[in-house]
Amino acid sequence: MNAVTKRKEIQALGDKLVIKSVNNYFHEPRYQVMKNTLNEQTTYVVLFIGNYNGDSRIQLVVARTEPLVTGLIETNSDKVLEQLEQKGKASIYGVLFDYDKATIKAESKEALDVIAQVMEKNKKLSLYVVGHTDDKGSPDYNLNLSKRRADAVVSALIADYGIAKARLLAQGAGPYSPVATNKNDLGRELNRRVELVERLSSSK
């Protein structure tokens, strides 16, 4: 770790560090920031030294970042086709629903456009459209909700984009196939998704 003691050097780190519940000592404050990055996780050790009402105060704060989950959000039809070719599946984010319902929101048009473009570029492609949820609520309820949402996506693709019904099959996986932890908001958001899975011509 490299010690940084000057304000301009702290700013030169290039990272925004937000620390809550730390008192700010205005009388002759001194700061020391140490930073270390290992395996995509950055650790900051921040030492505050100041004087308050004649008393010397010292606070030590340790903050760690988590690596951002990437490679999951595809909004480009060529990238989705590449994922389908390489992995046989691709996650689509941006298909939004009213809370606890299977009603597709108007903001979902861009994501639906991408799916339609995928089907148009590869006219031989057939897909399972699989709905996924986080693990809030009962598994049975989420399984049913994910299926209804997948049905809604398939219906929209058929009605609004003219995709042949035989090329799409809706399925619901509920909370049973997460791509991230359900312990925090980011993980749960990533788990709430629509996944396209290649369906071979021999599949029924």
The type of residue at 81 is L
**Ramachandran region of residue 179, left (φ > 0), alpha (ψ -120 to 50) or beta?**
alpha
- 38 pLDDT more than 70: yes
Contact 150, 171 (CB under 8 A): yes
Q: Is the pLDDT of residue 43 over 80?
A: yes
Select from 3.40.1440.10, 3.40.640.10, 3.30.1330.60, 3.40.50.740 the CATH code of 77-198: 3.30.1330.60
- For residue 5, the model assigns a pLDDT of 42
Pick 71 or 136 by higher pLDDT. Answer: 136
pLDDT, position 198:
96
Tell me the whole-structure pTM to 2 decimals. Answer: 0.63
Taking Cα atoms as reference points, which of 17, 2, 4 lies closest to residue 65? Answer: 17
> 139: part of which helix (H) or strand (E)?
helix 139-161
Helix (H, G, I), strand (E, B) or coil at 37: strand
- Residue range(s) in the chain whose domain bears CATH number 3.30.1330.60: 77-198
Residue 153 contacts residue 147 (beta carbons within 8 Å): no
User: Comparing 64 with 101, which gets the higher pLDDT?
Assistant: 101
Mean confidence (pLDDT) of the chain: 81
Dump pLDDT digits (tens) for 90-141: 989 889 888 788 999 998 999 999 999 999 999 999 999 999 999 999 999 9
Q: What is the mean pLDDT of residues 30-56?
A: 74
Regarding predicted confidence, which is higher, 76 or 169? 169
For the segment 45-67, the average pLDDT, to the nearest whole number, is 72
Tell me the C-alpha distance between 17 and 140, whole Å. Answer: 41
